[in-house]
Amino acid sequence: MKKTLSLLLAFLMLLSAVCSVGLSAFAEELRYFERGVLTDGTNTAYYIIDKDNKVLYITGDGNNLAYTPDYPSAAEGPFAGRTDVTRIVIEEDVAKIGDYALSNMTKVDTLEVQSNLLSSSSSMSSKAMIGCTGLRHIQGDSALLSTDVFLEVVKGALNVASGNWLSLIKNGFSIISTGVNGDDTLDNETVHCMVDDYINNGEKIFLGDLEQAKTEYNERLANPCYSNNAFHHDYSSSVTMQPTCTADGETTYVCSVCENIYTEPIDALGHDYVASVLYQPSCFTEGITKYSCTRCNKASYEAIDAYGHHTYDTLSYDAQADAYTEICAVCNDRNTQFDNDISALVAAADMAENIEAADYTSDSYQLMDSAAQRYYPLEEGDYLQYPQDKVDERVAEILTAIDELVPYLNLSLSYSPGGSATVTIDGETTLAGKRQTVFGTEVTLQAMPANGSTFLGWYEKTTKRYLSDEETYTFPMTSNTDVLARFTTAADATLSFVCLDGQIKSYVNKTVEEWNDVTSVAALLPEVPYSYGHTNGRWEYSNAAVLSALRNGEDVSIIAVYDEKETQTYPKPVASDGLPSVTLYYEYDGDANVGNFIMMGDIPQGCDYEEIGIAFYYKKAASFNPSSMRLTLNNKMVTSRFDMLYDDGQYVVNFKRMSAATNYAARGYVSYYDENGDLKVVYTNQINVVNLQNIS
């Protein structure tokens, strides 16, 4: 059977369906061939699987003999494990089937050999069909079969040692095994006689029972046509059934000596097709070729592959949508690509990718991660089909998820001499030290003065800002917090140095006796703190008056004094919907090497705010790109909080001794309670400082 005929026979069943369902069905129903190449670079063969008829064809390219490669094992054969093939046809231009090339195809029951593969052990490997345990029929020309190869292929396919029953058909007759059980003790002469007798005479014989085999062999010796371990019939032939396009014919052979009769099929003629194109293919729609048989008028149809791409040769522009539309010359497809900017989307996805899951609650991190993973990593050209507002929506989705992360925040508690302190979080009380908890968790601090000591109050340890004078102080965690409980004895007196905004710059705590030994306050003076909008900072005090009060056990505060200077005026944002509104600005004072971060805020009346502050994050410039991060309260940053709501809505933090070797990021924030009583945070814009310049 020729390769072309093998390809076309499978299409015959389509004709009636084509007539009833129309063109739209062709593209789907024509896809029932699988084609491929078996090659290792040196040996090459081709295969075609007719899925409708479950037939695997092994063939050449029409010009050269085909040689399949050898494969390492039965499990690694190219068709191992397939159950959609029941028949294998090896066409006449196949010269070699290698190791395991057809292995482990358990549903195959028929092997048809049209070449001389089985005539030489160098042509078809005895391992070729290992594991084809369903094999029951081998068909081929007697002249092409060699006993040795024939037996080895069969034994390999069915693994005879496992006791499988073997039923093979050759020219309509069977060889049947009744329990070989891997018995290789049959002498070769007897086996050869049996198989030669089978090939020449076509009668049933039995393998596996040596005594029965010999008995039947002796019976055959009595046949007048049997000599020299082979039958020598004198056959005459006649065609008893003419072949048609699809049906085999038959030749009958009759021995004039013993009247033995056998028949051989005459291959069906196959259709003689003439091809014509019914429908031309398009970009992504298959075309159809019709094949009409000149002998029987049967028709077959074959898909013509679609081009697989559009050919755009026209470009139009919609100025209102700021969009380009490409038009395909083949199918008139219109493809719109928007001239958008996805840099913010790339940056947002990168920010999310660099956030550590361990710093947040799992629920909030999963929400953020799922929002970001859909867009990471992005490449040039991604999302061009979306208009800019849709890209911006995706940016907002990721950044909102980042802002809504619920972080774990650090609390550090310490105390001065004269007492101790505890912290209670989620019902667990511990002594001063470091604790970690989730944003919004209620924290209770308890000050415990020692005998003879007085609790002065709770202070931020870093900024020395006053927080509360209540011994039991409860507040929600809204940022990283470092708290100091201050105590003093009745005999102590404290000299505090206070900034213009009320922040304590530093303080000195001594007993009255120790103050009596101090003759000048000047030696205790700290550096006058920098104050935005002011110059000529100084401590103004009366040395005698200060020492007199301290020696009498009175606390004294010396407040820094400045001269005002003109500063830039920044607009104040306007709150809406009852929510705080804040905006951050940056000025660098090169003379003082101070970075001024000015936050303008509008806190609406009735807004239940908890904390107002500015957050900072900074690292060496070589390892920190501020524009690639989203600064929130979860970045382990330094926080500068404000004592009260400023009437003018201006909040200023001075970042001293800034360096061009360090990059900085800053954002203002307000934590407040929403209408449901949940603690929320609203942020300003982010200020990114590189080489002391704002690059935001």
The answer on pLDDT for 142 being more than 90 is no
DSSP state of 403: H
Taking the C-alpha atoms of residue 394 and residue 348, their distance in angstroms, rounded to an integer, is 9
The answer on pLDDT for 609 being more than 80 is yes
- In this prediction, residues 163-190 reach a mean pLDDT of 37
User: Taking a C-beta distance cutoff of 8 angstroms, is the pair 283, 310 a contact?
Assistant: yes
Percent of the chain with pLDDT over 70: 79
Q: Looking at residue 321, what is its pLDDT? A: 63
**β-sheet bridge partners, residue 167:** 176
Side chain identity at residue 475, one-letter code: F
Taking the C-alpha atoms of residue 636 and residue 632, their distance in angstroms, rounded to an integer, is 9
The answer on pLDDT for 93 being more than 80 is yes
pLDDT in tens, 626-636: 988 888 877 76
- In this prediction, residues 153-182 reach a mean pLDDT of 41
- In this prediction, residues 477-498 reach a mean pLDDT of 86
The answer on pLDDT for 203 being more than 70 is no
Distances, alpha carbon 518 to alpha carbons 212, 365, 496, 504, 514, in Å: 129, 57, 15, 21, 7
Q: Looking at residue 26, what is its pLDDT? A: 26
Residue with tokens 């490997």: 125
Q: Looking at residue 643, what is its pLDDT? A: 60
User: Minimum mean pLDDT among 95-109, 228-242, 441-455: which range?
Assistant: 228-242
The answer on pLDDT for 673 being more than 70 is yes
Report strand pairing: 679-690 vs 693-694.
antiparallel
Taking the C-alpha atoms of residue 171 and residue 264, their distance in angstroms, rounded to an integer, is 6
The answer on pLDDT for 178 being more than 60 is no
pLDDT in tens, 391-427: 888 889 998 888 888 888 889 999 998 899 999 999 9
> Taking all residues of the chain, what is their mean pLDDT, rounded to a whole number?
80
Residues 6 or more apart from 541 whose CB is under 8 A from it? 521, 558
> Distance from CA of residue 687 to its chain's centroid?
34
pLDDT-derived band at 149, boundaries 50, 70, 90: low
The answer on pLDDT for 208 being more than 60 is no
pLDDT-derived band at 637, boundaries 50, 70, 90: low
Please count the residues of the chain.
Answer: 696
Predicted structure pTM score: 0.47
The answer on pLDDT for 1 being more than 60 is no
User: Taking a C-beta distance cutoff of 8 angstroms, is the pair 412, 434 a contact?
Assistant: yes
Residue with tokens 């070699």: 96
User: Taking a C-beta distance cutoff of 8 angstroms, is the pair 132, 103 a contact?
Assistant: yes
User: Minimum mean pLDDT among 159-168, 370-379, 548-557: which range?
Assistant: 159-168
Other CB atoms within 10 A of residue 138 CB = 19
> Distance from CA of residue 463 to its chain's centroid?
46
The answer on pLDDT for 168 being more than 60 is no
pLDDT in tens, 278-336: 888 999 888 889 888 988 878 888 899 998 888 888 877 777 766 678 888 888 888 77
Highest mean pLDDT among 19-28, 31-40, 613-622: 613-622
Q: Looking at residue 385, what is its pLDDT? A: 63
Q: Looking at residue 334, what is its pLDDT? A: 82
pLDDT-derived band at 174, boundaries 50, 70, 90: very low
Taking the C-alpha atoms of residue 135 and residue 130, their distance in angstroms, rounded to an integer, is 10
Taking the C-alpha atoms of residue 160 and residue 152, their distance in angstroms, rounded to an integer, is 10
Could you check whether the bond before residue 604 is cis, i.e. omega within 30 degrees of 0?
Answer: no
The answer on pLDDT for 165 being more than 60 is no
Q: Looking at residue 172, what is its pLDDT? A: 34
**CA count, 13 A, side-chain hemisphere, 83:** 0
Give the residue from 178, 170, 160 showing the smallest Cα distance to 196.
170
621-654 residues labelled b (16+ CB within 10 A) or e (exposed): beebebeebbbbbbbebbbbbbeeeeeebbbbbb
Q: Looking at residue 119, what is its pLDDT? A: 59
**CA count, 13 A, side-chain hemisphere, 489:** 11
Task: Sort 374 into a burial class: Cβ within 10 Å, 0-12 / 13-18 / 19+.
Answer: exposed
Q: Looking at residue 335, what is its pLDDT? A: 78
Residue 220, SS3 per DSSP: helix
Q: Looking at residue 158, what is its pLDDT? A: 56
Residue with tokens 């805020």: 601
- In this prediction, residues 241-246 reach a mean pLDDT of 90
The answer on pLDDT for 59 being more than 50 is yes
Q: How far apart are the first and last CA of the chain?
A: 76
Residue with tokens 């003439």: 274
Q: Looking at residue 355, what is its pLDDT? A: 85
The answer on pLDDT for 78 being more than 70 is yes
The answer on pLDDT for 160 being more than 70 is no
Taking the C-alpha atoms of residue 236 and residue 241, their distance in angstroms, rounded to an integer, is 16
- In this prediction, residues 518-525 reach a mean pLDDT of 94
